[in-house]
Structure 1
């Protein structure tokens, strides 16, 4: 199988960063989950306050299963928070809830990187699945056209990851600004929320590095086989 040749070494640094990033976000969230906020608001309450304060009265805040599965769904205009965030009144829970509110505000304001990201989601969903099928078929059958098409489709995944980073960083910036401006968190608490959101941002950096490493490896294998 082409996937297990010596070129796997190209992926190792990115995979190590990804493992570290996942550990960092999990450990940082767990750490600041033990720090309750002075005001005692839950993540759901904070999300509701910030949404209403931005005129987004019609965006519901729903409970969703899973850990750190929190997200804003622009297609249905709904915010979904995991149990720890929804019911939690910790610095970590509030930071995550505010971050997702940042995405809702981006959507309302027509934040360009978010619009671009949302517009290419169908292509990325198709490309992430079809690319590997085409690559595998191309390498096995020796059809370079299929390999090239697979690489082109996988490139859409890399572009998606790159566009996602500024979207996430901007949402975190909005979140911290709102939490401070509305006195939901105070200075020491803001530092904790900032640490949680910074750790989360590293997972997106790791995703970019992993996607780029995969793309470079595929190009290398393609040229080597050719």
Structure 2
């Protein structure tokens, strides 16, 4: 559950464009933390840990070459397609909560996407190397453009646009993984009917953080375009 984002680079009147996205991001972070904490306190009726559910889902999907491992930290859960390792955090790996099972199933959703060649995941993996470089170069080049030449500002905007594209592609990847997770948990009775609703709330709160990150980057890009437009006048 990780992303790349930025809120803006310097202050001027266009800063107001960023405020709604900043507020949404603060709300999303608070929502995911409070929702995960709440349902981490509810033990699932089957007594499954996050690790148990992850291993069962992977085997059921016919995926035998993905390992389930522990990773330190809070909400650091992720699937690594390069090493084919599904990593579950402290609050998920050995935890029997509804939240833990929901998050573990979500990460399995990514492993299944990888195994089945889900289109948006393939696009995301294809553009990641470029985005990884552009996200590091965009800020200094934009700063150089503001100080020196409009050419560098435009180049920096193009590099930052790649980051925005990455975040937009990430949205269907995350939503699809959550939908897969809920469907699997429900159809295979890993959670009871009553427990599916709170699991959905946990995954919906997590998805909101990706929406907020995309909104923040789109706002920053719009702001940069306005600044570049004024420089051209």
TM-score (norm: length of structure 2): 0.94
Deviations 1:155-193 (A, max 9, x none): 011111111011101000110111111111011100010
Pair 1:25-2:37 in alignment:
no
Aligned equivalents of 1:12, 1:44: Cα separation in 2: 39
> 5+ residue gaps in structure 2?
1-8
CA contact (8 A) 2:153 2:228 kept: yes
1:182 aligns with 188
- Please give the alpha-carbon distance, in whole angstroms, between the structure 1 residues aligned to 2:72 and 2:22: 27
Post-superposition Cα deviations, 1:35-88, rounded to whole Å, max 9, x if no partner, equal: 110000000110011111111112001111110010001111110110100011
SS at match of 2:173: helix
Could you say which residue in structure 2 is the equivalent of 1:199?
Answer: 205
Q: Which residue in 2 is equivalent to 1:114?
A: 121
The answer (yes or no) to whether the contact 2:150–2:231 under 8 Å persists in 1 is no
Structure 1: gaps of 5 or more residues:
none
Contact 2:15 2:223 (C-alpha < 8 Å) held by counterparts? yes
Number of residues of Structure 1 aligned to a counterpart in Structure 2: 224
Counterpart Cα distance in 1 of 2:60 and 2:163:
35
CA shift, 1:225, in A, is 2.6
State the distance in 2 between where 1:36 and 1:10 align.
Answer: 43
Q: Give the one of 149, 159, 172 matched to 1:166.
A: 172
- Maintained 8 Å contact 2:79/2:110: yes
Q: Verify the 8 A CA contact 2:168 2:214 in the aligned structure 1.
A: yes
Deviations 1:179-209 (A, max 9, x none): 1111110111000100000111111110111
Could you tell me which residue of structure 1 aligns to residue 3 of structure 2? Answer: none
Q: Give matches, 1:90-169, under 5 Å.
A: 90-141=97-148, 143-169=149-175
Deviating beyond 3 angstroms after TM superposition, the runs of 4 or more aligned structure 1 residues are: none
CA distance in 2, matches of 1:169, 1:51: 19
Establish whether residue 11 from structure 1 lines up as the match of residue 18 from structure 2. Answer: yes
